[in-house]
Structure 1
């Protein structure tokens, strides 16, 4: 159990590092970069929710609600780009 949390934490740090590198290396106005950053954000969101908030053991309702909220936020952000 503890090893899984350590691997998740390392994955989160790696994804954060990749996000910062992508942000520093790109210029403004590229929607494909925004899409990549949004995907990285969603992966980090899911990792935190399922590992550290322990939604892995939660009721199916909460898992579906998390997926719906994540899809809703991503849709709104993509429509505003």
Structure 2
């Protein structure tokens, strides 16, 4: 169980570094860059929720609620781009 948290933490650091490189290597106004950053954000959100917030053992209602909120936030942001 402790090893899983360490791997998750390393994955979160890697995703953060990748998102940093994506933002520094691109120019403004490219919609696909925002889409890549949103996908990376969603992956980090899911990793944190299921590993560190212990949502893996939670009721199905909370898992579905998390997925709904994530989809809602991503939809709103993508509509505003």
TM-score range, shorter chain: over 0.9
Q: Report deviation, 1:21.
A: 0.2
- Please name the residue that 2:52 is paired with: 52
Unmatched segments (≥5 aa) in structure 1:
none
Name structure 2 gaps, 5 residues minimum: none
1:65 Cα deviation after fit: 0.1
Output the CA distance in 1 between the equivalents of 2:36 and 2:17: 14
**Deviation at residue 23 of structure 1 after TM alignment:** 0.3
Structure 2 residue 10 is the aligned partner of structure 1 residue 14: no
Moved beyond 2 Å, runs of 4+ = none
Residue 67 (structure 2) aligns with: 67
Could you tell me which residue of structure 1 aligns to residue 25 of structure 2?
Answer: 25
